[in-house]
Chains A and B, each alone.
Chain A
Amino acid sequence: MQETLFQYLLRLGDDSLILGQRLSEWCGHGPILEEDIALTNISLDLIGQATSILKYASEIENKGRDEDKLAFMRFENEYLNTLLVEQPNGHFGDTILRQFFFDAFRKPLYERLTQSKDKQLSAIAEKSLKETRYHLKHSSEWVIRLGDGTEESHDKIQKSVENLMRYTSELFYEDKVDLDLQQKGLVCSLKDVKQEWDKTVRAVFHEATLKFPDNNWSFDGGRQGRHSEHMGYILADMQYMQRAYPNMKW
Chain B
Amino acid sequence: MVESTYIWDLLEEVSDPEVPVLSVVDLGVVREVSIQDEQVYITITPTYSGCPAMKTMEDDIRKKLAEHQVKKVIIETVLSPAWTTDWLSENGRYKLKEYGIAPPENEVDKSVLFSEPTRVPCPKCDSTNTRMISQFGSTACKAHYQCNSCKEPYDYFKCLK
Find B136's partner among A49, A123, A138 (CB 8 Å cutoff).
Answer: A138
Pairs A–B under 8 Å by Cβ, sample size 24: A34-B144, A35-B134, A37-B134, A37-B136, A41-B136, A45-B50, A45-B140, A48-B49, A51-B50, A120-B79, A126-B81, A126-B82, A127-B46, A127-B80, A128-B49, A130-B160, A131-B49, A133-B109, A133-B112, A136-B112, A136-B113, A137-B109, A204-B113, A207-B114
Whether a CB of chain A sits under 8 angstroms from the CB of B52 is: yes
Whether a CB of chain A sits under 8 angstroms from the CB of B41 is: no
Q: How far is the CA of A203 from the CA of B111 in the complex (A)?
A: 13
Contact B136 A34 (CB under 8 A): yes
Q: How far is the CA of A35 from the CA of B78 in the complex (A)?
A: 31
Q: How far is the CA of A138 from the CA of B51 in the complex (A)?
A: 19
Q: How far is the CA of A124 from the CA of B82 in the complex (A)?
A: 9
Give the distance to chain A from B116, nearest Cβ to Cβ, in Å. Answer: 11
Q: How far is the CA of A194 from the CA of B105 in the complex (A)?
A: 33
Contact B136 A48 (CB under 8 A): no
Which chain B residues border A134 with CB–CB below 8 Å?
135-136, 158
Which chain B residues border A200 with CB–CB below 8 Å?
113
Q: How far is the CA of A38 from the CA of B140 in the complex (A)?
A: 9
Give the residue name and chain of the B residue nearest to A45 (CB).
Answer: B50
Whether a CB of chain B sits under 8 angstroms from the CB of A119 is: yes
Could you tell me the dominant secondary structure of chain B's interface residues?
loop
Give the distance to chain A from B101, nearest Cβ to Cβ, in Å. Answer: 16
Give the distance to chain A from B81, nearest Cβ to Cβ, in Å. Answer: 8
Contact A44 B140 (CB under 8 A): yes
Which chain A residues border B134 with CB–CB below 8 Å?
34-35, 37-38
Find B79's partner among A44, A45, A123, A140 (CB 8 Å cutoff).
Answer: A123
Whether a CB of chain B sits under 8 angstroms from the CB of A11 is: no
Q: How far is the CA of A184 from the CA of B82 in the complex (A)?
A: 24
Whether a CB of chain B sits under 8 angstroms from the CB of A187 is: no
Q: How far is the CA of A242 from the CA of B115 in the complex (A)?
A: 44
How many residues on chain A are close to B (CB under 8 Å)?
35
Whether a CB of chain B sits under 8 angstroms from the CB of A109 is: no
Find B135's partner among A46, A128, A138, A204 (CB 8 Å cutoff).
Answer: A138
Which chain B residues border A228 with CB–CB below 8 Å?
none
Whether a CB of chain A sits under 8 angstroms from the CB of B84 is: yes
A106-164 at interface with B (beta carbon < 8 Å)? 107, 119-120, 122-124, 126-128, 130-131, 133-134, 136-138, 140
Whether a CB of chain B sits under 8 angstroms from the CB of A83 is: no
Contact B135 A137 (CB under 8 A): yes
Give the distance to chain B from A108, nearest Cβ to Cβ, in Å. Answer: 11
Q: How far is the CA of A34 from the CA of B153 in the complex (A)?
A: 13
Contact A44 B135 (CB under 8 A): no
Q: A44-B52, A49-B49, A123-B80 are in contact. Are A203 and B113 (CB under 8 A)?
A: yes
Contact B79 A48 (CB under 8 A): no
Whether a CB of chain B sits under 8 angstroms from the CB of A89 is: no
Which chain B residues border A45 with CB–CB below 8 Å?
48-50, 140
Q: B84, B114, B160 — which one has the most chain A CB atoms within 10 A of its CB?
A: B114
